[in-house]
Amino acid sequence: MVKSNKTEKNDKRIKIAIITGAGSGMGRYFAYYAGKFAKDTDEIWLVGRNKRKLYKTASRIGRNCRCISADISKNEEYESLTKIIHEEAPDIRLLVNNAGIGIMGDFSRLSPEENRLMTDINCVALTRFMADCLPFMSRGSHIINMASAAAFLPQPGFAVYAASKSYVYSLSKALSRELRKKNIYVTAVCPGCVDTPFIGRAEKYVKMKDYKKPFMARANDVVLKAYRDSYSGRNVSVYGAGMNMFRIAARVLPDEFILRLFF
Ligand SMILES: NC(=O)c1ccc[n+]([C@@H]2O[C@H](COP(=O)([O-])OP(=O)(O)OC[C@H]3O[C@@H](n4cnc5c(N)ncnc54)[C@H](OP(=O)(O)O)[C@@H]3O)[C@@H](O)[C@H]2O)c1
């Protein structure tokens, strides 16, 4: 784990926002709007596997960006990312843990490697990165973790993904309370289907169910809502009436009842 070498001259440290998965989909919008919400940042650090896509995001931002290519599921690359943080010892004002993958299909149809990757990226890397960034975060900073509405209910046919997002949801809510003492805000973002490259990648074996299509949200709208919720101190952000109703239904109705209706 990276250890903070914070000095007493905190004000001299560079203030940054870090966004993982900033090369596409919602990550791009998190990067575009980072300066609007985390107003006091000097630089925006963009993390993803594909440097060309990160540069594309950076070119639209029009302020200081640093592109760091790293596959956060690979130990060596993950450590090269945290080494940069350790060396620069920035004041992280905003951390957006957005990188994630999902592959639809029955558990036994997916390869063991695919099932493992979903937990490695969505859970393990997210947890490690929060732990490694936290020593560099101070009062008034924000952590936004990308969960999903899939966190609200077990999902046959998307089982590991939904379980991984339940983990993110639960972890974020717990940390939101733990870190309240330090005035660090944690928000779990729980959208339903969003129109991003994620859907095409997720449909490797199985197509998305038609009933979900009318609820497909725009990435731009989900991200703006996430930022507004985070900067209003909310620990959960759910975009759209449909998904808010789904969240309530998942709380009040037995899982089995909802699963029988939709799966
Ligand atoms: N779209 C939806 O319907 C939906 C709904 C709920 C939640 N989400 C969640 O929202 C987040 C963003 O997804 P999106 O919809 O914007 O789709 P996306 O365009 O596929 O974005 C996923 C991002 O994660 C990055 N990423 C994936 N694996 C990585 C790895 N090993 N190391 C570093 N970066 C990695 C990708 O970067 P590269 O491609 O450059 O590698 C990509 O930029 C994900 O956590 C996803 O689970 C999506």
Q: Which atom of ligand 1 is nearest to the CA of 77?
A: 32
pTM given for the model: 0.94
pLDDT for 207-254, tens place per residue? 988 877 777 999 999 999 999 999 999 999 999 999 999 999 999 999
Q: What share of the chain in percent tops pLDDT 90?
A: 90
What is the pLDDT averaged over residues 62-85?
96
pLDDT digits (tens, 9 = 90+) for 140-197: 999 999 999 999 999 999 999 999 999 999 999 999 999 999 999 999 999 999 999 9
Split into its structural domains, the chain has a count of 1
- Give mean pLDDT, residues 69-84: 98
CA of 5 to the centre of ligand 1 (A): 31
Query: Which of 57, 101, 199, when mutated, tests ligand 1's pocket best, judged by the most ligand atoms within 8 Å of its CB?
Result: 101
Q: Is residue 4 part of a domain?
A: no
Closest CA to 98 of 169, 44, 26: 26
2 part of a folded domain:
no
Domain of residue 149, CATH code: 3.40.50.720
Residue 1 belongs to a domain: no
Return the residue whose CA atom lies nearest to atom 43 of ligand 1: 21
Say if 5 falls within a structural domain: no
Residue 6: pLDDT above 70?
A: no
pLDDT, position 62: 83
**Domain containing 130: what range?**
13-262
Neighbours of 256 (CB within 10 A): 9
* pLDDT tens-place string over residues 89-131: 999 999 999 999 999 999 999 999 999 999 999 999 999 999 9
Candidate from 144, 198, 204 with most ligand 1 atoms within 8 A of CB, to mutate: 198
Distance of CA 12 from the midpoint of ligand 1 (Å): 33
Residue 127 placed within a domain: yes
Pocket of ligand 1 contains residue 27 by CB under 6 Å? yes
Tell me how far apart the alpha carbons of residues 95 and 141 are, in angstroms, rounded to a whole number: 8
Q: What angle do CA 19, 182, 29 make, to 5 degrees?
A: 20
Rounded CA separation 263/257 (Å): 10
pLDDT band at 11 (very low <50, low <70, confident <90, very high): low
Residue 137 in any domain: the answer is yes
H helix or E strand, kind and range, residue 37? helix 25-37
